[in-house]
Amino acid sequence: MDGKKWWQRLLGRNGVAELDPARPDLVVVASSFDDAEACSAALGKALDWTVDEPVVLRHHLRVPAGQVNAVQIIAAQDGYNAPPPRASGSLNDGDPAKLVLQRVQVLDALHCSQERSRMAGLAQRHDGDVLGWDALQPASRKKK
């Protein structure tokens, strides 16, 4: 045994149940691609979001292709990773590239706002911008 209680092993790190971001049944349950919309407003409109259950939170950024690796390295320090690109094209270093950064977490308006601000700063420091965010949960989950 590794010293963890059975419920800690079940829930994974930080007490958050593990959610595989590669699950094929994930669907968007909340999103905002409007800079002026507060996270609380976007989450208030979310109909299929199961509160207190983990989501795959994705931030959609546009940065110069030459900055993608630097952005990924910095985001990884906060537990974000970038899924493999769906289509690979050849971009010049200055061409804009769309980058999706994602991590699993329990979502609420405060933490969503904090992460949204963090991503805006990260993108801006690398000559990019944020397009928006979305949250995914399994379609099979029943709303509580």
pTM score, two decimals?
0.81
Q: Domains in the chain, ordered, with CATH? A: 18-138 (3.30.70.970)
What's the rounded Cα separation, in Å, for the pair 49 and 42? 11
17 CB-near residues (< 8 Å, 6+ apart) = 10, 11, 53, 54
Strand 96-106 with 26-32, pairing: unpaired
Kindly report, residue by residue over 25-38, the tens digit of the pLDDT: 999 999 999 999 99
Kindly report, residue by residue over 34-88, the tens digit of the pLDDT: 999 999 999 999 988 999 999 999 999 999 999 999 999 999 999 999 876 554 5
Q: What is the pLDDT of residue 47?
A: 84
Kindly list the strands in the beta sheet with 26-32, ordered across the sheet, starting from the edge strand earlier in the chain. Answer: 26-32, 129-138, 54-64, 96-106
Q: What is the pLDDT of residue 48?
A: 87
